[in-house]
Amino acid sequence: MGNFLLQAQPSLNFWNGENGSTGLWLKIGLALLAGIAMIFVLMQAPSQARRPIVMFVTFVSGLFYVLYYFWPRPVDRQPGELPRDFVETVSFYIDDAFGIVTDLSSVLSGLLLGLGIYSLLSVHLRRISRKQRDWGFSLVLLVSMFGMTGIGYWDWISRQGEAGIRLEDPNNWTRINYVKDMFFDGVLQNMDAAMFSIIAFYILSAAYRAFRVRSIEATILLVTALIVILSLMGAVEFLWNGAIDGITRNDANSFMNNLKLTEISKWLRDTVQGAAIRGIDFGVGIGALAMGLRIWLSLEKSGGKS
Amino acid sequence: MLSQVSSWRGDQYLDTGWVGPFFTLLLCVFILINIKRAGGAKDLFIRRIAGLNAIDEAVGRATEMGRPVLMVPGLSDSVNAIVVQALNIFSYVSRIAARFSNPILICCYSAPIFTVGQEVIRDVYNQEGLADKFDPDSVRYISDRQFAFAAGVSGLILREQAAATFFMGEFYAESLIFAETANSIGAIQIASSTEATQTPFFIAACDYVLIGDEFYAASAYLTRQPVLVGSLVGQDWCKLTVAFTIMIGLISNTVQLGPFKHTQLTEEKKDAKMKPLEKPRPASLNDTFMGNLFKKQSDPELKIERDMDPNFKPAEAPAEGGAG
């Protein structure tokens, strides 16, 4: 248990405490009680009061990140230093709390994972019990899921404490370490890689459809892609660029150097593609900012109703 | 040593660090002003977006064929602005599907998205008075491993023979797997990725693609809510501001660098201070006014004197070889 607590202790502040101390357990207990109280209040509140509560919680949560971004951050802060005034007192609190607040979303995700597993179980157990079409795949999924979870935990437990150092050397592995290695690195990782490699074939079929000369736009796309592809082919690039060098007699200042495949391709990527991607990124960034503002201030109404 | 620096001069505002927060604040003000302005306005113009016009057609086709509409809100780990926007669009799609009693399938990459998605879609069916037709299994958690998710969704597309597919949100390498699988069974596909690198794949493989901020314009376009339309106008103001800043930068950089011959510098900005150069050198983009404005430098000599906490105990270093 001591090892778990030692993992995250950057420095002591309002938001954490000394390992195993009464203060730390008190803080954990109070936080748990506050969380349960909030859920209870939300469940007991009449439906018309729930929206303001959710709006308030959303606003306070968002306000933390707004303050983190805009409130003057402490300059040259060293561990154990006291704030000079009110501004620094607030900034010290925000600074110390940032990691804790960020971790809250991980805690929430961890809690919600249970609901995700429940969804998987409900869909696949029903399919198995009713012997619906392809129920065998559902059986494989559930066996794999519980099998990997069990093997993963067993392996993890075997690596706790000093055994962790010993098991870094595969010569000291026990049977469970080999089993986990076979299922995770030997099977799962390779299946991931296999799925990834399918993309190569899909790129080919998608490119065939996209590059068919149907319109001016498709033709421009075809020509541009062809130049970039050819510039990446060593032999073609060597012959083309060599021919240009022959014409210019290796004159580095010749205008003809601009017609080298690598130069045209570089210009296409840096000037045309780079500018277009930056334009898209600006639009997406501003869109996300507007969306974030609407969510934070609860201006976004529930989905899809005009 | 600048120990007298005020606490109001936060670390992020030192040197030219204030530009970023100021610019962000300006953009926020533009958006909020336009949301306020649009409150009473009617019929603000939004240009035609083909991908969004095709939603009704796609759902209608699925209804005619008696096959489901499949939606994927991207591969975000948590419920962020991108996921909320994707779910907003899916609410609209689900509403039309609910009216036609057409089955839907929403495949989720992470448990938080699954939980929120299920509630949002349940809400849509409740609003339409069709609560009894809502199937909780229509929103499914698949896997939070990228290619396990890709395999799961591709399998569902093939087994359920989806007639229309919607891929909206954060997508990465798996985007083409989804799009090509759906294309192989002849599904109408409407897609949008906030990742600029994946948009070309969707353009190559899908029928309609929302590019860039069209994704964020979708809910305003579909619902015409004044708040959303106002926000869209605010986004246009923001884009104009960005374009104007780029133009200013272009002109000022050209003038400062010298349009035909690069200006020679005798001093440069280093560690937030101007320092003389040993020998003159040609000016580069980093030396211009705009270059300095967007690249904050920190002063390593800046130290602040503060009192020490008498109760402070330095944290113990974690034990070597602890749990991995």
ipTM: 0.88
- Give the chain B residue whose CA is nearest to the CA of A207: B204
pLDDT for A180 = 94
Closest-CA distance, B75 to chain A, in angstroms, reads 14
pLDDT for A8 = 44
What average pLDDT does range B75-93 have in this prediction?
Answer: 92
pLDDT for A4 = 43
Nearest to B324 among A79, A164, A206 (CB): A164
Angle B78-B79-B83 (CA atoms, 0-180°, nearest 5)? 115
Contact B81 A291 (CB under 8 A): yes
In the predicted structure, residue A175 carries a pLDDT above the cut 90? yes
Which residues of chain B does A76 touch, with a Cβ-Cβ cutoff of 8 Å?
11, 302-304
What average pLDDT does range A55-80 have in this prediction?
Answer: 91
What average pLDDT does range B50-72 have in this prediction?
Answer: 93
Closest-CA distance, A132 to chain B, in angstroms, reads 12
- Give the chain A residue whose CA is nearest to the CA of B196: A277
Among the listed residues B305, B10, B14, the one whose alpha carbon sits nearest the alpha carbon of residue A84: B305
Which residues of chain A does B90 touch, with a Cβ-Cβ cutoff of 8 Å?
303-304
Among the listed residues B220, B59, B138, the one whose alpha carbon sits nearest the alpha carbon of residue A303: B220
pLDDT for A11 = 64
Which residues of chain B does A122 touch, with a Cβ-Cβ cutoff of 8 Å?
136-137
Longest dimension (CA), chain B: 80
Interface test with A, best of B47, B108, B115, B236 (most A CBs within 10 A): B115
In the predicted structure, residue A289 carries a pLDDT above the cut 50? yes
pLDDT for B41 = 66
What average pLDDT does range B224-244 have in this prediction?
Answer: 92
Q: Are A231 and A264 in contact (CB under 8 A)?
A: yes
Q: How far is residue B228's CA from residue B18's CA, in Å, rounded to a whole number?
A: 29
Rounded (10°) CA dihedral B155, B160, B161, B167: -70
Give the contacts of B165 (CB within 8 A, at least 6 positions apart): B69, B70, B71, B72, B157, B178, B182, B187, B188, B189, B190, B191
Which residues of chain B does A87 touch, with a Cβ-Cβ cutoff of 8 Å?
7-8
Contact B137 A119 (CB under 8 A): yes
Three-class SS state of B42: coil
Q: Are B61 and B155 in contact (CB under 8 A)?
A: no
Which residues of chain B does A80 touch, with a Cβ-Cβ cutoff of 8 Å?
308-309, 312, 314
pLDDT for A7 = 44
Q: Are A195 and B177 in contact (CB under 8 A)?
A: yes
Contact A72 B314 (CB under 8 A): no
Q: What is the pLDDT of residues A111-165, one digit of tens each?
A: 788 888 888 898 899 989 999 888 998 999 999 999 999 999 999 999 988 888 8
Question: Across-strand partners of B23?
Answer: none
Closest-CA distance, B278 to chain A, in angstroms, reads 30
Average pLDDT, chain A: 87
Q: Are B178 and B165 in contact (CB under 8 A)?
A: yes
In the predicted structure, residue B73 carries a pLDDT above the cut 50? yes
pLDDT for B324 = 37
Contact A289 B28 (CB under 8 A): yes
Q: How far is residue A273's CA from residue B36's CA, in Å, rounded to a whole number?
A: 37
Q: What is the pLDDT of residues B91-145, one digit of tens each?
A: 999 999 999 999 999 999 998 899 899 999 999 999 999 999 999 889 999 998 9
Q: Which helix (H) or strand (E) holds A31?
A: helix A22-44
Closest-CA distance, B309 to chain A, in angstroms, reads 5
Which residues of chain B does A74 touch, with a Cβ-Cβ cutoff of 8 Å?
7, 10-11, 304
Contact A288 B201 (CB under 8 A): no
pLDDT for B204 = 87
Q: Which helix (H) or strand (E) holds B160?
A: helix B146-160
In the predicted structure, residue B239 carries a pLDDT above the cut 90? yes
pLDDT for B31 = 95
Nearest to A4 among B136, B147, B323 (CB): B323
- Give the chain B residue whose CA is nearest to the CA of A145: B143
Interface test with A, best of B95, B216, B219, B299 (most A CBs within 10 A): B216
Q: What is the pLDDT of residues B244-289, one digit of tens each?
A: 999 999 999 999 888 777 788 888 888 888 889 989 888 888 889 9
- Give the chain A residue whose CA is nearest to the CA of B25: A70
In the predicted structure, residue B164 carries a pLDDT above the cut 60? yes
Q: What is the pLDDT of residues A7-47, one digit of tens each?
A: 444 567 777 777 888 888 998 899 889 988 888 888 888 87
Which residues of chain A does B136 touch, with a Cβ-Cβ cutoff of 8 Å?
119, 122
pLDDT for A2 = 42
Q: How far is residue A106's CA from residue B186's CA, in Å, rounded to a whole number?
A: 39
Q: What is the pLDDT of residues B12-40, one digit of tens each?
A: 898 889 999 999 999 999 999 999 888 76
Q: How far is residue A7's CA from residue A160's CA, in Å, rounded to a whole number?
A: 13
Which residue, chain included where needed, has tokens 């939004």?
A: B46
Contact B212 A279 (CB under 8 A): yes
